[in-house]
Amino acid sequence: MSIQVRYFASLGDQLGRQEDQVQAEGPITVAEVWQQATDGLPMPPNILMAVNQEYAETDQTINDGDEVAFFPPVTGG
């Protein structure tokens, strides 16, 4: 299955890209998507994540075609 991965703000700058495409054979969690997309980079402690634009935790399971996003704490308003 194919998973679209997106990075925002300072995290995108740190990684040097705004998106990745992850291919997986079976069930995969958000944490595993991060591992695969970043080649095992440790996840920054304050990072937030979303699956299909809803906030998620690292252990959430991803389905084919899902969009997973990682980003730093939000600072709007």
Under rule CB under 8 A, which residues in 46-75 are in contact with another protein? 50, 53-55, 69, 71-75
8 binds another protein (CB under 8 A): yes
CA nearest to 32, candidates 5, 71, 65? 5
Nearer to another protein, 19 or 27 (CB): 19
Q: How far is the CB of 10 from another protein (least distance, A)?
A: 4
Q: What is the DSSP string of 1-60?
A: -EEEEEE-HHHHHHHT-SEEEEE-SS-EEHHHHHHHHHTSPPPPTT-EEEETTEEE-TTP
Task: State both tokens at 68.
Answer: 């997973």
Q: How far is the CB of 26 from another protein (least distance, A)?
A: 27
State the residues that interact with another protein by CB under 8 A: 6, 8-10, 13, 50, 53-55, 69, 71-77
